[in-house]
Chain A
């Protein structure tokens, strides 16, 4: 019984993973429809495991694993390469996808080391620059105020 159970479990996990992806940006915006003008539902943080339910244009309807929250995210905001991560790790381990998703490669640790070695770099202003993020719904507002349509062309 035990002998059968383990391969079965492995196969089940494999098929679950085959349909899954991971958020590869800091925060992926989740919308009710495949459009940046649709109702904004929230953010999915980096590394969130999602299932791809449907794709349309540059968008995908996804379900976040764990809580099952669903909505549309841009296809660019996730990667399906986590699958390679498992398989590739067994071979030479040279894929950069694997390196980075495993928390390797250029990281906060590397940035810290780089900063220490180069103390004249102005990271303080870069941090201020990064803090200038404007939420998508406000950008929609900006486009619409100017008579622009975020889905292309003037209305």
Chain B
């Protein structure tokens, strides 16, 4: 702890130096040979085309917060600190063994107090899962399967890819032209409009329309990898999909509306895990799951 503080103190001055770089940085332009300048112009144009992919962890963090704030307008978190803490321990531990363990502020998990069966993952790792879905799980491995699937969406930046490209490029070009100055009130407005549009794209895709079938299969494949690495049976994902398949249809807005048919997903996952051995849950895993979620 002491060390952390020391590190922070020592670095504050360095950080300020780094953040004020852009203004001085312009001076270095004179060192760039002409042909390089040309290629940089080309790259800037190229970077406009893939502006969404280029969203930094910090940009994704703000989008993820707004996405969460939007979902939480109509659905509230469960009032159960033990359950919330447990789902964060499990989810953050799984994220640690994923291919994308680090986002701007780290992965966070929340249980929404609704019988609805669904899960939503915002950019930067803001993952919201409904009580209805948590209650559909029988053990830690199955809950891990659900969280690992959502972590897969975040790691693959599916949310960010759902944002229409012109949302960002317009604002980036309009405001980015003079890189050294701070935003004026009109520019903040323009950037906020781009932000608002991006959040609308996120919620429309994730909550209303759902991702494409291939996108869901990709997240399932990532979930299998994460479950293996964390030492859980990837068969737990199949078990969860079977639960979804057994759910009565037409029970309001649910995971069925935004995801491919469970059987299609089961077939795909089975191909991936045919050689995986079954892993028995440890007594600790069994008891901590029951202790944390028993009161839900």
Chain A residues with a Cβ under 8 A of chain B:
10-11, 13-14, 22, 24-26, 28, 30, 36, 41-49, 64-67, 69, 74, 76-77, 79, 82, 84-107, 109-111, 113-114, 117-118, 120-123, 125-126, 128-130, 132-134, 136, 138-140, 142-143, 145-150, 152-154
Contacts and interface: CB of A to CB of B under 8 A. Distances in A.
A91 B8 CA distance: 34
Interface stretch (B11-19, B208-216, B234-242, B263-271): B11-19
A111 to B, nearest CB: 6
Contacts of B230: 143, 148
Contacts, number: 299
A19 to B, nearest CB: 14
A47 B19 contact: yes
Contacts of B31: 10-11, 14
Given A25-B102, A97-B56, A134-B88, A92 B44 contact: yes
Contacts of A134: 88-89, 92
A interface: dominant SS: mixed
Contacts of A87: 28-29, 32, 36, 40
Contacts of A26: 61, 104-106
Given A24-B104, A110-B188, A126-B68, 10 more contacts: A47-B18, A69-B7, A77-B102, A84-B43, A94-B173, A96-B176, A99-B172, A132-B110, A133-B88, A139-B89
A21 to B, nearest CB: 10
Contacts of B110: 125, 129, 132
A64 B66 CA distance: 32
Contacts of B138: none
B10 to A, nearest CB: 4
Interface residues of B, number: 100
B37 A86 contact: no
B interface: dominant SS: helix
Interface in B1-56: 3-4, 6-8, 10-15, 17-19, 21-22, 25-29, 31-32, 36-37, 40-41, 43-45, 47-48, 51, 54-56
B68 A129 contact: yes
Contacts of A74: 101-102
Given A74-B102, A129-B68, A132-B88, A67 B97 contact: no
A100 B108 contact: no
Interface in B187-210: 188-189, 191-192, 195-196, 199
A65 B70 CA distance: 40
Nearest to A7: B31
Nearest to A154: B231
Contact of A25 (B3, B12, B105, B188): B105
B100 interface: yes
8 contacts: A45-B11, A46-B58, A49-B18, A90-B29, A96-B56, A121-B66, A121-B69, A129-B77
